[in-house]
Amino acid sequence: MAALSGSVADPAEWRLRLLVLQPTPFCNIDCSYCYLPDRTVRARMSLATLDLVCQRVLGSARLDRKLKVAWHGGEPLAVPLSWYEDALALMAQRFPASVQIEHCFQTNGLLLNQDWAHFFARTGAKVGLSIDGPAHIHDAHRRSRRGHGTLERAMRAVRLLQEEGLPFHVITVLTEVSLDHPDELFDFYVANGIREVGFNIEEIEGVNTTSSLAAAGMEAKFRQFIRRFFALIWAAPAQLKLRELESAIASLLSDECARDEQNLPFAIVSVSHDGTVSTFSPELLGTRHARFNSFGFGHVATHRLADLVQDPRYRAVSSEIKRGVDACRSECAYFRWCGGGAPANKLFETGRFDATETMHCRLTRQAVLDETIAGIEARMGAPQSQRASRAGRVQRAKQKCVNALLSARERDTLTQRQTSPAMAVVPGRSS
């Protein structure tokens, strides 16, 4: 079999395609696995800061013609709708028509009402809801500050978006509890008309320093979960789209080595409510670390994006991330389909960006790829070239089995009677 060919894209081709904006660090709920330290802070991005963000992004030579703007918190809908009316109008004014902007909101849905739904419809903004599944799974982790479950209110948002005819996707954080319930999760999505889902995992990141998925035996359980989910989706592929399977298949079919946008400098630019700028993994913004303190590499008021590369902390982080990707490239069998993993997970799991394998990559990359490959193989039959050798293996296995079953004397008898058509059937029966 020919080895896969693949080329790594020229760094000059990397473009700024994702702008992650944090209009507020505040969140109206208190999920047990949240990585953000400042989610009780009610600060809000000013329009003047947003205007500077537009100037800096527009001034970047790396800006792509298509820019996704992800409004990400905290809880983005904790900022009043009127602010977004002004913010999106400002951005529409600042960006030329040659730059196609797509706004995306990732929300817990609790504050979503008809006004928001109309706003999303009017602006064409994409909506992602964070829902972990049925109540016994979702409410175990996604709770209000008073400790109440939030599923019921999140499902009101689902119903509202559906009534308005607005498409949306769901992001589910998998924890140890979820892994026991693949069928229940699948049924939950289908029964509630949820058609597109992405699985995140409970990560060790920021202020969330532990994960139920880091316990012994969890990887095997996770693989079993993905295997079962693959089977459920394969049996009814028109009902549910799972991001993980789609991206795994896309990377398998691609003739290029995968890249991870989190490892490409300025492919993602993240800006906090106060105008602090970062790049690489968006989770780095707002988190702190003993070795680097913070990951703000500049401020929109004082730095062009091109200036950030002069920041000593940026240089240290960037070169450590690059070493990590190089190490993955030389050590890991999955690199071609992964692109080097997520820097934030490397840092918060191992203390370094130049690490290689993490729990995050074992589960979300390796396990998903393995199960996708095995799932397709199991359903595609053996290729012609392997069928002859497989037939030989099967024949040998059958013979071994017969040998084990028959005593030496019986084998002798069989040898004496091998011309008998009836006896010739025996090996087949034992298979």
Q: Is 410 in the site for another protein (CB under 8 A)?
A: no
**Amino acid identity of 393?**
R
Q: Is 290 in the site for another protein (CB under 8 A)?
A: no
> How many chain residues bind another protein (CB under 8 A)?
89
* Pairing outcome for strands 196-201 and 63-71: unpaired
Q: Is 67 in the site for another protein (CB under 8 A)?
A: no
What's the sign of the alpha-carbon dihedral 60, 66, 68, 69? Answer: positive
Print the binding letters for residues 173-192 with another protein: x by CB under 8 A, - otherwise.
-----------x--xx--xx
**Amino acid identity of 425?**
V
Q: Is 388 in the site for another protein (CB under 8 A)?
A: no
Residue 104 vs 414, nearer CB to another protein: 104
Residue 261 vs 311, nearer CB to another protein: 261
CB of 314 to another protein, least distance (A): 19
Report how far residue 223's alpha carbon sits from residue 54's, in angstroms, rounded to the nearest whole number: 43
Encoded tokens for 218: 């969890």
CB of 218 to another protein, least distance (A): 18
Angle, in degrees to the nearest 10, between helices 368-380 and 243-253: 70
CB of 283 to another protein, least distance (A): 9
212 touches 202 (CB < 8 A): yes
CB of 419 to another protein, least distance (A): 30
Residue 88 vs 245, nearer CB to another protein: 245
CB of 261 to another protein, least distance (A): 5
Which residues sit opposite 379 in a β-bridge? Answer: none
Contact window for another protein (CB under 8 A) among 27-35, 81-89, 335-343, 409-417: 335-343
Which region holds residue 391: left if phi is over 0, alpha if psi is between -120 and 50, else beta? alpha
Contact window for another protein (CB under 8 A) among 81-89, 92-100, 337-345, 410-418: 337-345
Print the binding letters for residues 294-333 with another protein: x by CB under 8 A, - otherwise.
---------------------------------------x
Q: Is 339 in the site for another protein (CB under 8 A)?
A: yes
**Amino acid identity of 358?**
T
Contact window for another protein (CB under 8 A) among 13-21, 26-34, 37-45, 351-359: 13-21
Residues between 98 and 157 with contacts to another protein, criterion CB under 8 A: 104, 106, 126, 128, 134-135, 151-152, 155
Nearest to 101, CA basis, from 114, 89, 109, 83: 89
Residue 59 vs 237, nearer CB to another protein: 237
Nearest to 246, CA basis, from 169, 155, 162, 304: 169
Nearest to 198, CA basis, from 29, 371, 368: 368
116 touches 106 (CB < 8 A): no
Binding another protein by CB under 8 A: which of 291, 387, 396, 417? 387
CB of 412 to another protein, least distance (A): 33
Report how far residue 146's alpha carbon sits from residue 63's, in angstroms, rounded to the nearest whole number: 43
Q: Is 234 in the site for another protein (CB under 8 A)?
A: yes
Residue 163 vs 180, nearer CB to another protein: 163
Nearest to 245, CA basis, from 261, 272, 225, 260: 225
Binding another protein by CB under 8 A: which of 2, 216, 290, 422? 2
Report how far residue 130's alpha carbon sits from residue 154's, in angstroms, rounded to the nearest whole number: 8
CB of 120 to another protein, least distance (A): 14
Report how far residue 278's alpha carbon sits from residue 298's, in angstroms, rounded to the nearest whole number: 7
For 324, other C-beta atoms within 10 Å of its C-beta total 22
Q: Is 10 in the site for another protein (CB under 8 A)?
A: no
Binding another protein by CB under 8 A: which of 238, 290, 408, 422? 238
